[in-house]
Structure 1
Amino acid sequence: MSLDRAVMMFAGFMVLVSVALTHWIHPAWMWLTMFVGLNLLQASITGFCPAAMLFRRLGVRPGTAFR
């Protein structure tokens, strides 16, 4: 799995988890969804992604987006 796919998979997982928590636990969990979305937006503009840095340290091979 490449770094790009790992970041997208992690972001999608976090969105689904936060939506489930919003539905079943408390509406304030929607802030987590907004944080993930804003982080994806800024990563697409700046190329800086904390999740990509973490996955890179864990040994995931680089992809084309996050170098």
Structure 2
Amino acid sequence: MKNRIVRAVAGIFIMISLLLAVYVDQNWLWMTAFVGVNLFQSSITKWCLLEDILKKLNIKD
């Protein structure tokens, strides 16, 4: 369950930042890059802040 939530949140953030980049300002693409870098970092270090937050909220795997 946690894994699905993390993927959904990442996908939502990417879609929102792309929409903001198209309709508001291209600088919102930095948010897309930030999410991508965090996904890459979590694949290397096996640590994700959102997973820690979900663990504290008692969301089960």
Task: Flag structure 1 segments of 5+ consecutive residues without an equivalent.
Answer: 63-67
Task: Flag structure 2 segments of 5+ consecutive residues without an equivalent.
Answer: none
TM-score calculated relative to the size of structure 1 = 0.85
Q: Residues 1-58 of structure 1, C-alpha deviation per residue, up to 9 Å, x if partnerless? A: x111110000001000000111111100000000000000010111111111112222
Counterpart in the other structure of 1:40: 39
User: How large is the Cα RMSD of the aligned pairs?
Assistant: 0.8
Q: Distance in 2 between matches of 1:58 and 1:18?
A: 26
Counterpart in the other structure of 1:14: 13
Aligned residues: 61
Counterpart in the other structure of 1:25: 24
Q: Report the structure, 1 or 2, having the larger helix content.
A: 2
Identity, in percent, stands at 33
SS state at 1:53 partner: helix
TM-score calculated relative to the size of structure 2 = 0.92
